[in-house]
Amino acid sequence: MVQVETSQLASECNSWRETLRKYRDEFTQDNIRLQLAAKPSLSKDQLQLVEHLHNQFHIQLINIHDLKHSIKVHHRLIEFELREHKGMREETLADHENLFDQFQNLDVTLQDLRGEFDRFITKT
């Protein structure tokens, strides 16, 4: 068993999930804004960008949901191992690091999508 500061791990899980919730709410609203911006007067290229952004919002909302769920399951596993074994397995700590990498990668993707959407809205 690995002895680590488990309150820090739990706090990280909660922080990641809160960040993902904020992204989910933001992208849900942005998708509505995108639909309102999709006017018939847009050029073919602009309409293709609308479709691209709509698809990306859909895909990224699924990715947010899946990662949020994985983090929640992981957090429960941490709590279980602490309660039942008074420590955490090395595999669980490795899973935590893997989830952090996934979170960081998704965060970069979501920030890129946010920027792409903001540029589109500014131009229309």
Which domain covers residue 11, as residue numbers?
Answer: 6-36+43-123
SS3 36: helix
pTM: 0.92
Output phi, psi for 38, to 5 deg: -80, 85
pLDDT digits (tens, 9 = 90+) for 45-100: 999 999 999 999 999 999 999 999 999 999 999 999 988 988 889 999 999 999 99
1 within a domain of the structure (yes/no): no
Q: Report the number of distinct structural domains present in the chain.
A: 1
49 within a domain of the structure (yes/no): yes
